[in-house]
């Protein structure tokens, strides 16, 4: 029994180590983990072959990055101190903003975990501000998307996106909590504050926790990869046939930033696809500033807004949507200025 | 109930432990259930049935994680969560049947 456990633990550790080493190798050797096909390569192929070639191209380079990202996402969400995090995030003090921005990205959550936490924060009297901060940061900045963004779009853009998304989420959360309708909404739950819930999380041995982590990583992969593949089919046609001239005219300059923020928002792109689509757009000539705005437009897509509006009402959703748009545009512009001219 | 368990039961009875312990297991998840919440409930029921076979009274119920009553009782949770006799023991992960079974036995 003991030997079987040791064997299982060794196997799991080697699996994790394998991806870590491959990833380090790729970074040190500066291998590209993203597709190298250009519009010219794709255009000459028969229609049915375009997605196959493109996906093969992704699979060849991207499997290390994806495998690493899913493994890390699983590990982090298993080993994060959950009780601590929930307690501080729902405390209703300024520190909860900090916890929401810094720790929420570590949780790789699908909407079926995110919405309950959001609703929970509100009903437990944690305040609408931290709850919104959490809601805005979690999808934009989660660790899975971050690893892939760094690999696909480069660390400069990924870092700009993370920092800008973090700052804007805190400011937006704070501003919305100070609006008259935000305050009115919050008052309903004031009395719930400070209740002590009975939570005594069980402690598990390390081998079981590793298993939990890998299982969760696998679960995420199973959920995300099929949608990612379908998305890549669309992206491949997009890359092959979308006129580069259009991108160069409309997705550069100040107006390009505004347009990218507008497009990146309401358009619902499952996790990771906005990165792939962003990469296709960059290859076609989208400016760096517009790319940042494009990535930041994510938290206010339509399905997400619908589910939150059921909890907080349309007024609050529209307020944070407008603010998030403004922040996406201004971050895009600031980034353009930083990297040298719009 | 196997013969062996009946013996244990009789033994307990003779010792004066006539009242068997009661476990209230609450699986807390979203509704409609997400795949992970469903799996957790399934595993909890399997684990519970093992204890039930041994004569322990176990009741498994499902709670909606976004319901106001759940939040006022347990606070902010990550789905899926499991509470045993009113104390949250697990959140944000799907445990195997064996682990839940151990958790239940520890609570006895």
CB atoms within 10 A of CB B33: 18
Residue A129 inside a domain? The answer is: yes
Split at pLDDT 50, 70, 90, the class of A321 is confident
**Nearest chain B residue to A108, by CA:** B92
For domain B21-107, the question of CATH label 3.40.30.10 is answered with yes
The 10s digit of each residue's pLDDT in B28-83 is: 988 777 888 899 999 999 999 999 998 889 999 999 888 888 888 888 888 889 99
- Encoded tokens for A119: 């609703």
Q: What is the mean pLDDT of chain A?
A: 83
What angle in degrees, to the nearest 10, is found between the helix axes of A302-312 and A314-338?
A: 140
For chain A, the domain total comes to: 1
Contact B103, B84 (CB under 8 A): yes
| Residue A1, in any domain of the structure | no
Q: What is the mean pLDDT of residues A154-176?
A: 91
* Sign of the torsion angle spanned by Cα atoms A53, A55, A58, A59: negative
Asked whether this complex has an ipTM greater than 0.85, the answer is no
* CB proximity B40 to A under 8 Å: no
With a cut of 80, say whether residue A60 has pLDDT above it: no
Q: Give the tens place of pLDDT for each residue, A72-89.
A: 988 988 888 877 788 788
Lowest mean pLDDT among A6-15, A172-181, A273-282: A273-282
Mutate: best of A89, A120, A193, partner B, most B CBs <10 A: A120
Helix (H, G, I), strand (E, B), or coil: what is residue B22?
Answer: strand
**Do A220 and A74 touch, CB atoms closer than 8 A?**
yes
User: A14 pLDDT exceeds 70?
Assistant: yes
DSSP sequence for B60-74: EEEEETTSHHHHHHH
Predicted confidence (pLDDT) at residue A71 exceeds the cutoff of 80 = yes
Range scoring the smallest mean pLDDT among A37-46, A313-322, B16-25:
B16-25
B68, B90, B91 ranked by CB distance to A123: nearest: B68
CB contact under 8 A, B88 and A82: no
Residue A225 lies in a domain: yes
Any domain includes A224: yes
Is the pLDDT confidence value at B10 over 80? no
The pLDDT assigned to B83 comes to 93
B95/A115 touch (CB, cutoff 8 Å), yes or no: no
DSSP 8-state code for residue B79 = S
Please tell me which residue of chain A has the smallest CA distance to B100. Answer: A202
Give the residue, A263 or A292, on which the prediction is more confident. Answer: A292
Q: Please give the pLDDT value at position A109.
A: 62
The answer to whether the beta carbons of residues A284 and A245 sit under 8 Å apart is: no
Q: What is the pLDDT of residue B2?
A: 47
Question: Is A136 exposed, middle or buried, given 0-12, 13-18 or 19+ CB atoms closer than 10 A?
Answer: buried
Q: Which residue range is the domain that position A150 belongs to?
A: 12-26+44-338
Q: What are the tens digits of pLDDT across the range A105-144?
A: 777 666 667 778 888 888 888 888 998 998 888 777 778 8
The reported pLDDT for the residue numbered B1 is 42
Q: How far is the C-alpha of A112 from the C-alpha of B37, rounded, in Å?
A: 10
Q: What is the mean pLDDT of residues B18-33?
A: 80
């Amino acid at each position: 029994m003991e030997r079987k456990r040791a064997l299982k633990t060794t196997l799991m550790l080697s699996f994790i180590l394998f991806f870590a080493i491959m990833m380090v190798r790729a970074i040190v050797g500066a291998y590209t983990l993203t597709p190298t096909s250009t519009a010219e390569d794709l255009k000459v192929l028969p229609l049915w072959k375009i997605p196959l070639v493109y996906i093969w191209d992704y699979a060849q380079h991207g499997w290390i990055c994806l495998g690493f990202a899913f493994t890390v996402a699983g590990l982090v969400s298993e080993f994060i101190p959950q009780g601590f995090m929930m307690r501080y995030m729902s405390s209703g003090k300024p520190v909860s903003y900090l916890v929401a921005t810094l720790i929420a990205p570590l949780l790789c959550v699908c909407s079926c975990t995110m919405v309950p936490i959001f609703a929970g924060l509100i009903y437990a009297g944690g305040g609408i501000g931290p709850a919104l901060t959490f809601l805005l940061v979690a999808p934009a900045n989660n660790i899975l998307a971050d690893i892939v963004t760094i690999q696909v779009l480069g660390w400069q853009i990924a870092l700009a996106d993370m920092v800008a998304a973090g700052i804007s989420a805190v400011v937006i959360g704070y501003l919305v909590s100070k609006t008259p309708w935000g305050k009115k909404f919050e008052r309903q739950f004031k009395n719930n504050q400070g209740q002590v819930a009975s939570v005594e999380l069980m402690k598990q041995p390390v081998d079981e926790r590793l298993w939990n982590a890998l299982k969760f990583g696998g679960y995420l992969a199973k959920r995300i990869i099929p949608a990612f593949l379908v998305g890549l089919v669309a992206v491949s046609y997009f890359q092959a046939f979308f006129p580069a001239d259009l991108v160069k005219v409309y997705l550069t300059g100040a107006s390009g930033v505004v347009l990218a923020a507008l497009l990146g928002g309401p358009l619902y792109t499952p996790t990771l696809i906005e990165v792939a689509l962003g990469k296709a757009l960059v290859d076609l000539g989208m400016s760096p500033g517009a790319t940042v705005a494009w990535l930041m437009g994510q938290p206010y897509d339509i399905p997400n807004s619908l589910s939150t509006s059921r909890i907080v009402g349309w007024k609050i959703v529209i307020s944070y949507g407008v603010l998030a748009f403004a922040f996406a545009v201004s971050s895009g512009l600031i980034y353009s200025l930083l990297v040298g001219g719009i | 109930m196997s013969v062996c368990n009946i013996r244990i039961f009789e033994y307990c009875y003779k010792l004066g432990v006539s009242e068997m312990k009661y476990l209230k297991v609450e699986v807390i998840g979203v509704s409609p259930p997400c795949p992970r919440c469903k799996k957790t409930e399934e595993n909890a029921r399997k684990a519970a049935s093992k204890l039930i076979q041994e004569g322990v009274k176990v009741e498994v119920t499902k709670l909606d994680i976004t319901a106001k009553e759940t939040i006022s009782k347990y606070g902010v949770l990550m789905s899926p969560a499991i509470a045993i006799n009113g104390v949250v023991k697990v959140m944000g992960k799907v445990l195997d049947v064996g682990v839940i079974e151990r958790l239940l036995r520890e609570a006895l």
